Amino acid sequence: MGYSNSHSGRLDATFAALADPTRRAILAMLASGETSVNDLAKPFKMSQPAISKHLKVLERAGLISTSLDKQRRPRRIEAAPLKEANEWLEKYREFWESRYNKLDDVLEEMKAEQANKAETKSKRRRKNG
Amino acid sequence: MGYSNSHSGRLDATFAALADPTRRAILAMLASGETSVNDLAKPFKMSQPAISKHLKVLERAGLISTSLDKQRRPRRIEAAPLKEANEWLEKYREFWESRYNKLDDVLEEMKAEQANKAETKSKRRRKNG
């Protein structure tokens, strides 16, 4: 129960942190390497305190950490929570793939029907022509 | 830009909807088939209005829909937003796998070092013994 609860709590924090376009963009930037807060703020039309708030949310969710370099204090991405979120979603993969497979089946059926109709028509034409 | 924004907005709604243990549990229940609101409420120590609120969040995010059966109005899962969220996370798969690979490398190095030390010790012992 304890594990399950803390696991559930981590998923809550991860998904909540990912529910914001700025935070997702920050993660995308950090995926290419450690970045200082200054450089992270550059692409956004946002004050540095606003960016710092987003960094705090990401840090609390364990999605980023601060590197040891005391002067620059660059942030780096932490992949573990992304892996956990991915694992949760993966449980539904079979499900959504079967959904799409079902759609594929329907489309195949429609095509077959159409082909059938076309054939019947051309047969009729040959008969009558 | 329009597409990107609405796509980003959909991801916001999906991740926000997934950031709650009750809503994740509701999706897990719906994964095994359409379920009435009554049946969905049963496993939770929650009022039906509280459950209905969660269902509304899921429905607004496009994660569930209401089936046509007018009397039971059962809910069913919609997989498309889960697929989109998964696709976003998948962009980081290579990244977190390489992280874990790096950790594996470090562990392998540590093992090799340990084995080396043990060998040196046993050699010394053989020399001295």
pLDDT averaged over consecutive 10-residue blocks of chain A (129 residues)? 70 98 96 91 91 96 90 90 95 79 71 78 68
A1, A5, A28, A57, B66 from B58: Cα distances, Å: 25, 21, 26, 23, 11
- C-alpha dihedral over B10, B16, B17, B20, to 10 degrees? 170
- Inter-chain residue contact A11 with B31, CB threshold 8 Å: no
Q: Does B101 touch chain A (CB under 8 A)?
A: no
pLDDT band at B108 (very low <50, low <70, confident <90, very high): confident
Q: Does A15 touch chain B (CB under 8 A)?
A: yes
Rounded CA gap, B81 and B61, in Å?
8
Q: Which residue of B has its CA nearest to A25?
A: B8
Q: Which residue of A has its CA nearest to B87?
A: A86
Q: State pLDDT tens for residues B71-92.
A: 888 999 998 999 999 999 999 9
Rounded CA gap, B106 and B56, in Å?
48
- ipTM of the complex, rounded to two decimals: 0.76
Residue A69 CB neighbours (<10 A): 10
- Statement: residue B35 has pLDDT above 50: yes
Look at residues A72, A48, A15, A113 and name the one whose alpha carbon lies nearest to residue B11. Answer: A15
Contacts of A22 in chain B (CB under 8 A): none
- Statement: residue B30 has pLDDT above 90: yes
Say what the pLDDT of residue A35 is.
Answer: 93
Query: Who wins on pLDDT, B45 or B122?
Result: B45
- Inter-chain residue contact B11 with A24, CB threshold 8 Å: yes
Q: Which of A82, A92, A96 sits opposite B96 (nearest CB)?
A: A82
Which of A12, A27, A77, A89 to substitute to test the interface with B, most B CBs within 10 Å? A89
- Ranges assigned E (strand) in chain B: 64-66, 75-77
A19, A84, B32, B71 from B98: Cα distances, Å: 25, 16, 34, 52
Rounded CA gap, A114 and A9, in Å?
52
- A72 in helix, strand or coil? coil
Chain centroid to CA B93: 13
- Ranges assigned E (strand) in chain A: 64-66, 75-77
